[in-house]
Amino acid sequence: MANMPYSSRARAVLIDLDGTMVDSAPDIVEASNRMLSELGAPTLSPAVVASFIGNGVPVLVQRLLAASPDLPRIDEAAARAMFFRHYHDTNGRFSRLFPGVIQGLAALQHAGFRLGCVTNKPIAYTEPLLQAFGLDRYMQAVIGGDSIPQMKPDPTPLIHACTQLGVAREQGVMVGDSHVDVAAAKAASMTSYIVRYGYPGPGGVAALHADVFIDSLAEMPALLDSAAARAFRAGCGRSDDTADTAPGSDRNTDF
């Protein structure tokens, strides 16, 4: 575990969607292979398609086409439109929640943390997926891949989410599953918490240089609480300052 200079004063938890809260790979695999079949290309294995997830649909489609070298040259914009047409039908149909997600979100909310979803998935597909699994009731901010011009690994979506949640960027932490989450958190001066499942990309979880690795979102309340306690014991703040900023304190009742 790396040093965690920011999570000791966390007031907001930003959470990725695909591979972190929802195992949406089956939806994406189905839409991807429908697109490839329509183009006359062989379908790809779920593992191959899952390795392409996490950088947004344009990169996903680029990788799908690159993995099908026998295809005639095709306009990527047309391929993306084809993918979206199929994904409209598959979004949420084959996916499932990862274990511990609802438990973790409920505990974080109860503790007074502000919660936001920051994903590279387009907002038109993000919101229905959150609603399908009852995740939307926990989120006070939702930033999709096209909500603003920038996407992860750019830090701007994380900073934008913090602004919507009414906290400084230093008071946010990022929970995700891939290198884009780690890079975005680092660029935004936030602690990165990475799940050991999900879609980490080439090299797997071992290739990710996150601050903290977790097995379940349900671990987050205790981790953040212990980080705050360690900071207090180390003399990082007076008890009255800690009471002002700790989630669940009287100062947070208007969140």
Amino acid identity of residue 8, one-letter, is S
Would you say 184 and 155 are in contact if contact means Cβ atoms under 8 Å apart?
A: yes
- 147 contact partners, CB below 8 Å, separation of at least 6: 123, 157, 160
Under DSSP, the state recorded for 41 is P
Cα–Cα distances in angstroms (integers) from residue 114 to residues 64, 70, 137, 152, 166, in the given order:
36, 48, 12, 20, 9
Q: Does 16 participate in catalysis according to the annotation?
A: yes
Q: Quick one: residue 112, left, alpha or beta (phi over 0 = left, psi -120 to 50 = alpha)? A: left
Please tell me which residue in 16, 27, 177, 181 is annotated as part of the active site: 16
- Residue numbers annotated as active site: 16
